[in-house]
Structure 1
């Protein structure tokens, strides 16, 4: 199959959208499919991507501008006609839109005009972000934009049941469930590291770990309720604009910066409990990575984590905003070694079959479904 991916954000920026595209490209390139990527132009961005199987995948960059306040996030400024030419040049069987908004919105129109079926993968809660950043007046406009993009697509894929239901409630059509895979060969309890543990915490301390972007929507400041708990050491992995504020708020926390690959796997496996504080997660890949590392997880009862965490078995969910529940859940696991070990084993077992090869095969089924739907009843151009 010839698959044209259109990524709203891509390398060198690493985030959930980029990670998903990279994993899928790896899987499909190794299986012999032909791939091309369209992404915003950015300084230092490569024109080719080398996959783990040794294949080169072309990355076609389109003009972009930096997002106000987030210079590393790029807003594509290309138009439909330019995208149409790039897509037609590759002549794909299907368009894959990764977290489509502005670039993806133009790409889906280009796909319609070319008669190419489109699978739109929803990943970012933009309407929720507008409210979190003090712009609730843009929430309705954001949903209108998403409706226009996704209802033009042949299929929309949501990463969790809560997100699927949310999309349907906002009149987005043809929504299906497609979760994310986790690399269980990389994230594993075998990476637990005694020397790293000694570097991060004292012998008597338990480690609460957060991994993710240090931005307002992630609500990392909520970890302050655990920061001063005796016997607890908060470890924060990630980068972002909120880092100076968080350092001042939690001076005892260990800030480890951006980590990836085996280094990230080693940190996760060395944690005692993983806590994700954001309430706007459509999925939350880092929870899966922690669970694959044998670490129980705690998160708000909102969005993607509802599907990932089984309360009283693999971790705990707390009521959004109720930080006393976060403290209680954390204490329940941090200071009960037997319970924590039992939850960790169950967490690992729960993600064993959520590998990227399995999820890539499922996605290929959605591609084929979109192609068939386009042949039977093409959407209006």
Structure 2
């Protein structure tokens, strides 16, 4: 199979979209498929043995945003893929889907970013409705849109999209594992984070307005805890102000083994943002055997079974956030039970399994497009 991936985010930018695209490319390479990537400028020239083609981009909040380019049509025409994978399509992805349709290439679009939610949170009013119209316009051009959560599925059905299916995200079940807590490096990190044996409330993710990390201020005064924050981004100064005087360890951006050690050093995981279409870090925390506290909104609704592998708080109620965290800090048996349940809940979500499912979606749209071609060709042949 020949797969063209067009992505709004790629290395060196680290994001959920980048992680998913890299995992897909790794899987395609292991499986013997061919691929090429179209990404915003600044990307490496190759990944997993596949060529990466850069197109011009503008900067927005530290992220490169790929701009429409005449290269896109030419690159797709020259590569002649069996299918186009558009990762979190925006301007660049929309152009890729349109070019694929002109070239009679089936396409799969992956919905991953709540653009309309960002517009709403920033008080843009009518822009939220306009954003949803844009989302509909982009995704209507794709043969299939893959959706990560029940909440996202409802949102997209509400705006009239119908060619939808579920596709979740994979998780590294070896890199994030409860057994890592016995690692001496984890013990050393934990001693640094909680020198007096405090419970470590951890967070991993981008420090950006939509993540709402400032809401951790609700934990001010909760006895016996320390906060450990992993990530960077434009909201760091605002978060520092919101959490001033609280016991906080800033670990910066981590990946690979260092990130696995950070999860292993936490006692529980807290996510405060209400605009997650999925919530990759939540299932990483579950893989590490941690109970998760998250809002009852968006992707976390599918990942956190309230009272089983974590707790869901009322999205706009910081006192409920505090109540949930406090409950877990006071009950070690409950933390252990929920952490074990969290680990069990992700055991079927290895990247191998998830990417195999994606290949099945590729095959579906390829077969469906071939069937359409056949129904058009038959009457023509009968006329000869």
Q: Which TM class, normalised by the smaller chain length? A: over 0.9
| TM-score, L = length of structure 2 | 0.94
1:111 aligns with 2:107: no
Aligned length: 369
Task: State the structure with more CA Rg.
Answer: 2
Unaligned runs of 5+ in 1: none
Residue 314, structure 1, aligned to residue 309, structure 2: yes
The answer to whether the 8 Å contact 1:133/1:217 transfers is no
Question: Which deviations, in whole Å up to 9, do the C-alpha atoms of 1:301-351 show, x marking residues without a partner?
Answer: 011100001111100011111111111111111121111111111110111
More deviation, 97-106/334-343: 334-343
Q: Could you say which residue in structure 1 is the equivalent of 2:380? A: none
Kindly provide the CA deviation profile for residues 262-291 of structure 1, in whole angstroms up to 9, marking residues without a partner as x. Answer: 101111111111011110000010000000
1:21 aligns with 2:21: yes
- Is the aligned partner of 1:199 residue 2:188? no
Spell out the pairing of 1:1-381 with structure 2 (5 A cutoff). Answer: 1-42=1-42, 45-49=43-47, 51=48, 56-67=49-60, 70=61, 72-79=62-69, 81-192=70-181, 193-251=186-244, 252-377=247-372
Q: For 1:172 and 1:138, how far apart are their aligned partners in 2?
A: 19
CA deviation string 1:238-263 (max 9, x = no partner): 10111012112213211111010110
d(CA) in 2 for partners of 1:8 and 1:89? 21
2:64 is paired with a residue whose SS is strand
User: Any conservation in 1 of the 2:203–2:271 contact (CA below 8 Å)?
Assistant: yes
Distance 2:68 2:239 in 1: 37
Residue 228 of structure 1: how far off its partner (Å): 2.8
Whole-Å separation in 1 of the counterparts to 2:357 and 2:253: 31
Rounded Cα–Cα distance in structure 2 between residues aligned with 1:202 and 1:365: 49
Distance 1:107 1:290 in 2: 34
- Give CA-to-partner distance per residue, 1:53-110, whole Å, 9 cap, x none: xxx111000111112xx1x31222233x431111111110000000001101110000
The answer (yes or no) to whether the contact 1:183–1:355 under 8 Å persists in 2 is yes
Provide the C-alpha distance between the structure 2 equivalents of 1:106 and 1:248, rounded to a whole number of angstroms. 41
- Report the Cα distance in structure 2 between the residues aligned to 1:209 and 1:31, rounded to whole angstroms: 36
Give the whole-Å Cα distance in 2 for the aligned partners of 1:203 and 1:351.
32
Q: Bigger shift: 103-112 or 368-377? A: 368-377
Shift of residue 162 of structure 1? Answer: 1.2
1-side partners of 2:158 and 2:280: how far apart?
24
Distance (whole Å) between structure 1 residues aligned to residue 368 and residue 128 of structure 2: 31
User: Post-superposition shift, 1:353?
Assistant: 1.0
Secondary structure of the equivalent of 1:124? Answer: coil
> What is the rounded CA distance, in whole Å, between the counterparts of 1:96 and 1:89 in structure 2?
16
What 5-or-longer segments of structure 2 have no aligned partner? 377-384
**How far is the alpha carbon of 1:11 from its aligned partner?**
0.9
Tell me, in whole angstroms, the C-alpha distance in 2 between the residues paired with 1:189 and 1:228. Answer: 29
Contact 1:291-1:351 within 8 A present in 2 as well: yes
1:131-177 Cα offsets, whole Å, 9 max, x none, are: 11232221111111111110110000000111111111111120111
